[in-house]
Amino acid sequence: MISTEQLLDELVDRWTRGEPLEVDELLRRAGPHADELARLIDTFLERAPRREPTAESVAFVRSLDEPSLLRARQEQRLKLDDLTEALVERLGLKESARTKVRRYYQDLELGRLEPKRVAQRVWDALGDVLGRDARELVMVRAPAPAAPAMYRASNHLLSMTATGLPDADLADRGEPDEVDRLFGVGGVG
């Protein structure tokens, strides 16, 4: 059986060569001595000189901070209003739809709107504007379903939808319009 010191030496060699450390594999190989090896690895990494992160590492960490659609829009140097204007135009919507398109797009961008319910026409238009497959950007890391928020209005509790509109507001609006259907909002699918 290989000793914990030999396994630690393997890790140090990998670290020296700049290779992936594969700590899980080393711990598995340590068997019942995995806890001892883990302590040795921790000690080594605490004392080892710090290295500059790779460009890939930095990109990965940044991807955890911001929604992908937001990053894609920023890369194109598009303001939210500019993107909204382009969507309204490409979707052939009336100027009066601008506010709702902006709100729904922002909900989509921030992960508050279910991407699977959004119409292909919207994805195609976004792809034209962003210069890449927008649907792929949001499907990489699907947002966790939001718990319904509650707020008090006129001494009544009203449930909120993912778009931030109270259910009562959705009902008061009557039938879903074209923008609701395109973004899959208001019980349409």
Per-residue pLDDT of the chain (189 residues; tens, 9 = 90+): 789 999 999 999 999 998 889 999 999 999 999 999 999 999 999 999 988 888 877 777 766 665 688 888 988 999 999 999 999 999 999 999 999 999 999 999 888 888 999 999 999 999 999 998 888 888 654 333 344 444 444 433 333 444 444 333 443 356 789 999 999 997 654
* Cβ burial, residue 179 (10 Å; 0-12/13-18/19+): buried
Q: What residues form DSSP beta bridges with 172?
A: none
Greatest Cα-to-Cα distance within the chain, rounded to the nearest angstrom: 73
pTM above 0.75, yes or no: no
Nearest to residue 72, comparing CAs of 87, 83, 84?
83
Distance separating alpha carbons of residues 120 and 90, to the nearest angstrom: 13
Which H/E stretch holds residue 158?
A: strand 156-159
**Coil, strand, or helix at residue 92?**
coil
Q: Which two tokens stand for residue 175?
A: 């039938």
CA 138-119-96 angle, to 5 degrees, is: 105
